[in-house]
């Protein structure tokens, strides 16, 4: 499935099963949207991200599509492939930069973020195998909220 098809599916029927607020509530109202860039190796897109508001505590949450990591514009598949090349295939950032055209700074950021996420995955799935095996779409949805919370904690401390 191409990224264009995934974007169309996301925008036609936003569905995030298991969305749960920090207060434990699962009852939400639609609360607007914002636009976000989606970048692949070939093209860039702009999509609409739906926001919802918790009916109990009033917090707002963005429903990020499964093909994106929170706070990243680059498609998850590109991040996974690049990180996999650096970690599983033990290629240098210079080699991966030449293959993909992605800057070394960005590649190093993704590699560092993988090691942070690896801890969450280890807690969730009890062991870590190869990068691609643990970053598939279904598993990303399962660790999304934990990853988001740890990311926010690191960003604010």
d(CA 26, CA 54): 8
**Based on C-alpha coordinates, what's the Rg of the chain?**
16
CA distance 6 to 152: 27
Mean pLDDT computed over 75-102: 87
Residue 104: predicted pLDDT: 92
Percent of the chain clearing pLDDT 90 (strictly above): 12
Total Cβ atoms within 10 A of residue 26: 12
Q: What is the pLDDT of residue 134?
A: 57
Calpha distance 7→64 (Å, rounded):
11
Q: What is the pLDDT of residue 22?
A: 79
Residue 107 has pLDDT above 60, yes or no: yes
pLDDT digits (tens, 9 = 90+) for 25-54: 888 888 888 999 999 988 899 988 888 888
Mean local confidence (pLDDT), 117-129: 58
Q: What long-range pairs does 134-137 form, CB within 8 A, spacing at least 24? A: 135/76, 135/80, 135/83, 137/66, 137/67, 137/76
For the segment 110-114, the average pLDDT, to the nearest whole number, is 83
The predicted pLDDT at position 131 comes to: 60
Mean pLDDT in residue range 6-11: 74
More confidently predicted of 121 and 21: 21
112 beta partners: none
User: Is 105's pLDDT higher than 90?
Assistant: yes
* Cα(30)–Cα(53) distance, integer angstroms: 6
Going along 9-128, which residue ranges are E strands?
A: 28-39, 44-54, 60-63
């Amino acid at each position: 499935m191409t990224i264009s098809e995934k974007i169309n599916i996301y925008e036609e029927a936003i569905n995030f099963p298991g969305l749960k607020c920090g207060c434990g509530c699962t009852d939400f109202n639609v609360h607007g949207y914002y636009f976000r860039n989606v970048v692949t190796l070939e093209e860039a897109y702009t999509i609409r991200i739906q926001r919802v508001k918790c009916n109990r505590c009033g917090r707002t949450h963005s429903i990020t599509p499964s093909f994106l990591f929170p706070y990243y514009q680059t498609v998850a598949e590109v991040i996974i492939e690049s990180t996999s090349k650096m970690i599983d295939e033990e290629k240098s950032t210079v080699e991966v930069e030449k293959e993909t055209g992605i800057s070394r700074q960005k590649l190093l950021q993704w590699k560092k973020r993988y090691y942070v996420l690896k801890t969450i995955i280890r807690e969730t799935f009890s062991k870590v195998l190869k990068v691609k095996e643990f970053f598939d779409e279904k598993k990303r949805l399962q660790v999304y909220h934990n990853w988001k919370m740890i990311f926010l904690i690191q960003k604010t401390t």
